[in-house]
A = this chain, B = another copy of it.
């Protein structure tokens, strides 16, 4: 039986999801847990690569069960063997051809900014603290220009050899509550570091270091040096992955 599990993880202590040599990853911990549960180590398919330090509220993984366990029993069964900073909270059966990454319809990320001269001790590991007062209206105007289908090459970190850099952003919202600013983006896919560079560019607009309307020219330039800095990993959280059935 093929299953899709959904998990939360605090990425602070991990080098992202994907297994790497000489680095502690979420996938490695998950496979260790699955090996203890099933007696064999099943290959797993993650919904995305995530950078070191990035968090997840709804990371999805699919795999073929080496022996059948009812999906409703899986979260507690797997959690017994996982460290406290990773938790499976949902599981369901999926078709054999399902792939957590390639079957996804869209992915949502949340990026959290603390716009304050003082860090929040409870939220500090999950936010980018920006001292300069940010104009959220300017951030919203810049974000609106990123919505739709564009070539996002200007928002891709070097080191990626991807050819097709066109993506569709379904929405890109900026909400403020006190000194917390939450940027919520949904797209059909993302280039390497795309969300973090987009957020870095919104902060330029919010700090009045660029005009929000310049966002259109930055996109059109396809030039990484025209966009803002890459926002720190710790503010980023993979919020939700949508499939045809969710």
Q: Which residues of A contact B (CB under 8 A)?
A: 8-10, 55, 75-76, 79, 84-89, 117-122, 124, 126
Bound state CA distance, A5 and B44, in angstroms? 51
A55 to B, closest residue via Cβ: B122
Chain multiplicity (copies): 2
- The answer to whether A8 touches B121 (Cβ under 8 A) is yes
A117, B76: Cβ atoms closer than 8 Å: yes
23 contacts between A and B (CB under 8 A): A8-B120, A8-B121, A8-B122, A9-B121, A10-B121, A10-B122, A55-B122, A75-B117, A76-B117, A76-B118, A79-B118, A84-B119, A84-B121, A84-B124, A85-B121, A86-B121, A87-B118, A87-B119, A87-B120, A87-B121, A88-B118, A89-B118, A122-B126
- Smallest CB separation, A161 vs chain B (Å): 33
Question: With contacts A8-B120, A10-B122, A87-B118 known, what are 6 further pairs, Cβ within 8 A?
Answer: A10-B121, A79-B118, A84-B119, A85-B121, A86-B121, A122-B126
Chain B residues whose CB sits within 8 angstroms of the CB of A118 once the complex forms: 75-76, 79, 87-89
Give A126 to B85 CA distance when docked, in angstroms: 13
| A10: nearest chain-B partner, CB-CB | B121
A-B pairs, 8 with minimum CB distance:
A10-B121, A8-B121, A89-B118, A87-B121, A85-B121, A87-B118, A87-B119, A75-B118
Q: In the complex, what distance in Å separates the CA atom of A76 from the CA atom of B79? A: 41
Residues of B within 8 Å of A88, CB to CB, are 118
CB distance from A182 to the nearest CB of B (A): 14
Expressed in whole angstroms, the minimum distance between the Cβ of A9 and any Cβ of chain B is 6
Measured between beta carbons, the chain B residues less than 8 angstroms from A9 are: 121
* A119 neighbours in B (Cβ, 8 Å): 84, 87
Q: Which residue of B has the minimal Cβ distance to A9?
A: B121
Of A86, A88, A124, chain B has the most CB atoms within 10 Å of the CB of: A124
